[in-house]
Amino acid sequence: MIDGLTNQIANAIGIEPQSIAIQGASGLEREQNAEDLADTVQFADLEKAKAFRERNTVRDWTDDGRFLEYPILRTSPHVLGEYGVGLELYFTTLKQLAFLFLIIGLISIWPILENSSGDGLETGAKKNSYDTITLANNGGFHYKTITTSQTEALEDEQDHVDDYEINQSRVAVADFLYTLVFIVFLVYYKISAKKVVLNNFKDNVTAGDYAIEIKGLPEEDIDEKEIIAHFQSFGEVVEVYLARKYNGYLGSYKARAKLSFQEGYYKLMSKKDPSQEIKLKEIQEKIKNFDENLQIKRKEAQATNEDLIVDRAYLVFNDVNSRKKCLKAYSNKLKLCRKNLQPKELKFRGFHTLVVKPTVEPSNIKWENLEYSHWNRQIRRAIIIAIAIGIMIGSIILICVIQAEENLLPSDQTCAKKIDVEATLEYAEKNYKSDTQVYCWCMQQKFSKLLDDSEYNDYCSDYISQFRVATTVRVFASLGIIAINYILKWTLSWLSKYERASTWTKEQLSIMNKLFFVLFFNTSIITLMVNANFKDLVFVKDLAFKDYLFNGDYSDFSRDWYTKVGSTILITMFIGVASPHFVTLFILYPINIIKRRYFYKFYKMQHELNSLYAGPEFQLSVRVAQILNTIFTCFLYSGGIPLLNIICFFTLFFAYWTDKFLILRYYRAPPLYSNQINNKFQSYMPYAILLHCAFSLYMYGADEIFPDTVYINSSGELNPDHNSLGERISMNSGILNMTLISLVVIVLVSLIVINEISKFKTTIAQIGDEQIREDQGTYKENYQEIKEHGIPSYDIMMNPIYKPVLVSLNDAAHDIVRANTEKQTNISWVTSME
């Protein structure tokens, strides 16, 4: 019975498919252990590599066994659901979110126009053209020294306060509208995602639909036939596989497998060129040393995979009703008192209490991590979190250093007290001698005039130089944040493997959670903390890093904050429109094509060439974390910088089409991810709205932009009264945002309650069994369909990722036994001679 998956596995290790397929006890394909991995090596064959690529990328399988590329434009997320509901949900989510932010972006044009028509920024304060469309340019209040009648000036300015309130209400209403659209979308998306999951469950069959996981079995003296006999009362059992305990050493055999492949290659080469035998002996000596060192470290080194103790078992029924009856019998209702309440007939051999639960499909299992306990993973998780915190502290210090240069320029509030904004150049040259006064006066002039007029240029030369440095620093601060984010991505992806998740989905979920938090913290929060001035607050005085955090220049969202800090955030997110997916599309993807077309001859072994042609893995967790960071960061500050909503739309739009193109033309087919990552994604989204509302409430209440009252101090300077948090809440903008916050809380609580009720009743999979899967065919009937988009068996030797490792483990065991036998024989011979 030789077909697609068998050929796939054979090609993965470079052997003929006819040599590996045999009939197993279950009556379905099982994998035969090769005696020596080196003997399976073949020279690289281009046609086999091309065929391997077709079988291991996202392709449409025709009835006559051919592979066709899916069209880029017409392929829907539902079609991609054949490769896992996780992949379908990712593209469905991107598509729906892009449409959401298209609507939000269109509404955001209103506050953008309102801001652009304002005169809040003085001529010199408009450092960049996009500063005029932020909240910094709204309103018209300016710090200034009153030289005329203070009473008249105060009354005149107070009359403008009513105009500021109208401006505030306009932008707040626009913000209210698009935030309300976001809330409605959350409810729709929750329903839509559940429908996607159920439809995917109905339309796409995997081995996991028929399988259960069994714990509590005796570790030794057990075989598959005995387990089949125990569970066959629920229905026909087509497969049982016993998962073993590797005590953390399975990964070590990857290095041995690599050496075995090299040994096989030089065996073939030595037949053509005898001089290659020298290299062959070197490789064989390395393998021998590997086995000797392994024997010292691992007491089970002489045991093959079948000799190791049992950790758990995976059992596949032929129909879903049999699985359902089994799960119902071993219901979690007995979980608290299982040892006392589990009937004797359900216990294995009458006294081994079993834990039986649904399981994931075979390609989703990380076999080397199954044996790790919950507490072991928690300890590892704590270590990873500690390392991540250390990295974030480093990020804080780096950003402080990068932004220190820009803080040398005085703020608008400082300048209002130092100079007369109406002063001429002649007056400035005569009266303004200090650097601060010169900088302040030059800041009020058009930058083009400073460059074009020689007299202005001479007087403001230091300011021009400092301004250029500050602008460059702002750009490099954004690039620095992006560079740190890249470092964090790779670091956390690597560290999360140390956590030892039991499935690929859980590992991806762990990466996504950690990466999202550190990306968001690094992109949005650190910049805010470094520049915020809260040093008078009690809790800040006790902070260990008080000289770096909350010790900046801004105690509020002032105009100067938007032109400096807000500008950095805007540049960062603008660069994020093309990063990182455009790097893959326009650099890595073409390089891969060039390597396959012109450099394939450099790959000497079949498995190496297969790996090149299959393409890299699609990192779902990393992409979801980056999308979350984009949404949270853009929406967090969009109340004051509405252009961020439009940037978010373009980022999501390009991400959808770029990732769709790459998944169909570049990446290898991913494991069949479950909906867990999307569930976590959904749980985060309401908090993006809550944070947005809280920040918008504070931004719209900024006393420098929308003062409630103004006064003239003893020095004759016009100042706004400070707006307290209570006063900001009582404003029109505050009432709107508090309404939204209340609505989000109601929706959030409702979703949590509904979710808990749903969990209490049944799982999504069980709902599928009861409502949808009654007419589903048997496992044997669906075997070919299962095979087309995944691994159809829980036999680890059917998994092309783990097969070479397991064969290497068995090879090592045989070699060690052989070497020990020879050693013992030699000792016996010497003893007899003596």
Q: Tell me what pLDDT residue 455 has.
A: 85
Please tell me whether the peptide bond between 580 and the residue prior to it is cis, using omega within 30 degrees of 0.
Answer: yes
In a domain, 632, yes or no: yes
Does residue 650 sit in the same domain as residue 683?
A: yes
Does residue 342 sit in the same domain as residue 383?
A: no
In a domain, 444, yes or no: no
* C-alpha to C-alpha distance for 435 and 808, rounded to whole angstroms: 72
One-letter amino acid at 741 equals I
Q: Tell me what pLDDT residue 771 has.
A: 43
List Cα–Cα distances, 632 to 183, 525, 643, 686, 690, in angstroms: 14, 11, 14, 10, 10
Q: Tell me what pLDDT residue 763 has.
A: 44
Q: Averaging pLDDT over each range in 249-258, 334-343, 430-439, which range is the top one?
A: 249-258
Q: Tell me what pLDDT residue 315 has.
A: 96
Total number of residues shown for the chain: 834
Q: Tell me what pLDDT residue 405 has.
A: 53
Residue 337 pLDDT class (50, 70, 90 cuts): very low
Span 613-645, pLDDT tens digits:
999 989 898 899 999 999 999 999 999 999 999
Does residue 182 sit in the same domain as residue 255?
A: no
Residue 599 pLDDT class (50, 70, 90 cuts): very high
Q: Specify whether the CB–CB gap between 20 and 581 falls below 8 A.
A: no
Q: Specify whether the CB–CB gap between 163 and 169 falls below 8 A.
A: no
- What token pair was written down for 760? 């209490």
What angle do the packed helices 567-576 and 643-665 form, to 10 degrees?
20
Q: Tell me what pLDDT residue 283 has.
A: 92
Q: How many of the other CB atoms lie within 10 Å of CB of 483?
A: 12
* C-alpha to C-alpha distance for 72 and 140, rounded to whole angstroms: 50
Ordered alpha helix ranges (H), 701-731: 725-730
Q: Tell me what pLDDT residue 26 has.
A: 37
Residue 334 pLDDT class (50, 70, 90 cuts): very low
Indicate the pTM of the whole model.
0.81
Q: Averaging pLDDT over each range in 348-352, 438-442, 575-579, 669-673, which range is the top one?
A: 348-352
In a domain, 420, yes or no: no
Does residue 831 sit in the same domain as residue 688?
A: no
What angle do the packed helices 620-637 and 643-665 form, to 10 degrees?
170
Q: What is the DSSP string of 554-571?
A: BSS--HHHIIIIIHHHHH
Whether the per-residue pLDDT at 195 is higher than 60: the answer is yes
Whether the per-residue pLDDT at 318 is higher than 90: the answer is yes
- What token pair was written down for 558? 């002032």
Q: Counting beta carbons within 10 angstroms of the beta carbon of residue 698, is it exposed (0 to 12), middle (13 to 18) or buried (19 or more)? A: buried
Span 361-406, pLDDT tens digits:
898 899 888 888 888 888 888 888 888 788 777 777 766 666 555 5
To the nearest whole percent, how much of the chain has pLDDT over 90? 31
Q: What is the CA radius of gyration of the chain?
A: 33
Give the H/E segment covering residue 90.
Answer: helix 85-116
Q: What is the domain extent for residue 338?
A: 1-42+207-360+762-834
In a domain, 71, yes or no: no
Q: Decide which of 552 and 626 is more confident.
A: 626
Does residue 550 sit in the same domain as residue 680?
A: yes
What angle do the packed helices 803-833 and 4-13 form, to 10 degrees?
50
> What is the mean pLDDT of the segment spanning 15-40?
44
Q: Averaging pLDDT over each range in 154-163, 235-244, 364-373, 564-573, which range is the top one?
A: 235-244
Q: Decide which of 798 and 4 is more confident.
A: 798
Whether the per-residue pLDDT at 543 is higher than 80: the answer is no
Q: Decide which of 815 and 739 is more confident.
A: 739
Q: Decide which of 617 and 536 is more confident.
A: 617
Task: Find the Cα–Cα–Cα–Cα dihedral 666, 671, 675, 681, rounded to 10°.
Answer: -50
Q: Decide which of 165 and 142 is more confident.
A: 165
* C-alpha to C-alpha distance for 773 and 782, rounded to whole angstroms: 13
Q: Tell me what pLDDT residue 739 has.
A: 95
Q: Decide which of 708, 732, 752 is a domain's last residue.
A: 752
Q: What is the DSSP string of 108-156?
A: HHHHHHHHHT---S-GGG--SGGGGGSGGGSS----EE--S-HHHHHHH
Q: Mean pLDDT of all residues in the chain?
A: 82
* C-alpha to C-alpha distance for 385 and 388, rounded to whole angstroms: 5
> What is the mean pLDDT of the segment spanning 807-833?
78
Span 257-288, pLDDT tens digits:
989 989 999 988 888 888 888 999 999 999 99
> What is the mean pLDDT of the segment spanning 782-786?
87
Does residue 623 sit in the same domain as residue 483?
A: yes
* C-alpha to C-alpha distance for 786 and 779, rounded to whole angstroms: 9
Q: Decide which of 752, 787, 805 is a domain's last residue.
A: 752
Q: Tell me what pLDDT residue 301 has.
A: 82
> What is the mean pLDDT of the segment spanning 231-244?
94
Q: Tell me what pLDDT residue 272 has.
A: 85
Q: Which of 79-93, 205-219, 379-393 has the lowest mean pLDDT?
A: 379-393
Q: Specify whether the CB–CB gap between 559 and 704 falls below 8 A.
A: yes
Q: Tell me what pLDDT residue 625 has.
A: 92
In a domain, 65, yes or no: no
Q: Reduced to 3 states, what is the DSSP secondary structure of residue 605?
A: strand
Q: Averaging pLDDT over each range in 2-6, 181-185, 746-750, which range is the top one?
A: 181-185
In a domain, 452, yes or no: no
Q: In what order do the strands lie in the sheet with 717-720?
A: 144-145, 717-720, 710-712
Q: Tell me what pLDDT residue 834 has.
A: 57
Does residue 570 sit in the same domain as residue 533?
A: yes
* C-alpha to C-alpha distance for 725 and 738, rounded to whole angstroms: 12
Give the residue among 570, 530, 525 at the shortest CA–CA distance from 404: 530
In a domain, 426, yes or no: no
Whether the per-residue pLDDT at 148 is higher than 70: the answer is no
Residue in the block written with tokens 């992949």: 87
- What token pair was written down for 99? 């449409």
Q: Decide which of 752, 783, 798 is a domain's last residue.
A: 752
Q: Reduced to 3 states, what is the DSSP secondary structure of residue 595?
A: helix
* C-alpha to C-alpha distance for 766 and 760, rounded to whole angstroms: 12
Q: Tell me what pLDDT residue 4 has.
A: 36
Residue 34 pLDDT class (50, 70, 90 cuts): very low
* C-alpha to C-alpha distance for 430 and 464, rounded to whole angstroms: 20
Give the residue among 768, 703, 718, 638 at the shortest CA–CA distance from 111: 638
* C-alpha to C-alpha distance for 507 and 622, rounded to whole angstroms: 11
List Cα–Cα distances, 709 to 416, 561, 705, in angstroms: 18, 21, 11
Q: What is the DSSP string of 236-285?
A: -EEEEEEEE--TT-GGGHHHHHHHHHHHHHHHHHHHH-GGGHHHHHHHHH
Does residue 596 sit in the same domain as residue 499?
A: yes
Q: Tell me what pLDDT residue 145 has.
A: 67
* C-alpha to C-alpha distance for 76 and 51, rounded to whole angstroms: 25
Q: Tell me what pLDDT residue 759 has.
A: 56
Q: Which of 1-10, 418-427, 756-765 has the lowest mean pLDDT?
A: 1-10
* C-alpha to C-alpha distance for 36 and 38, rounded to whole angstroms: 5
Does residue 405 sit in the same domain as residue 316?
A: no
Tally of domains in the chain: 2
Q: Tell me what pLDDT residue 121 has.
A: 80
Does residue 700 sit in the same domain as residue 827?
A: no
Q: Decide which of 274 and 690 is more confident.
A: 690
> What is the mean pLDDT of the segment spanning 595-616?
90
Q: What is the DSSP string of 194-207?
A: HHHHHHHHHH---G
Q: What is the distance of C-alpha 760 from the center of its chain?
A: 29
* C-alpha to C-alpha distance for 232 and 574, rounded to whole angstroms: 60
* C-alpha to C-alpha distance for 764 and 757, rounded to whole angstroms: 12
Does residue 179 sit in the same domain as residue 211?
A: no
- What token pair was written down for 39? 């003997």
Whether the per-residue pLDDT at 122 is higher than 50: the answer is yes
One-letter amino acid at 834 equals E
Q: Decide which of 339 and 619 is more confident.
A: 619
Residue 7 pLDDT class (50, 70, 90 cuts): very low
Q: Which of 400-414, 430-444, 639-653, 784-798 has the lowest mean pLDDT?
A: 400-414
Q: What is the DSSP string of 614-636?
A: H-----HHHHHHHHHHHHHHHHH
Q: Tell me what pLDDT residue 628 has.
A: 95
- What token pair was written down for 22? 């045999």
Does residue 505 sit in the same domain as residue 525?
A: yes
- What token pair was written down for 212? 């259960």
* C-alpha to C-alpha distance for 633 and 691, rounded to whole angstroms: 10
Task: Find the Cα–Cα–Cα–Cα dihedral 566, 567, 570, 572, rounded to 10°.
Answer: -110
Residues 6+ apart with CB under 8 A from 360: 208, 503, 505, 674
Whether the per-residue pLDDT at 253 is higher than 70: the answer is yes
- What token pair was written down for 736? 């709107």
In a domain, 778, yes or no: yes
- CATH number, domain at 798? 3.30.70.330
Q: Tell me what pLDDT residue 764 has.
A: 39
Give the residue among 100, 84, 90 at the shortest CA–CA distance from 681: 90
* C-alpha to C-alpha distance for 454 and 204, rounded to whole angstroms: 73
Q: Specify whether the CB–CB gap between 67 and 51 falls below 8 A.
A: no
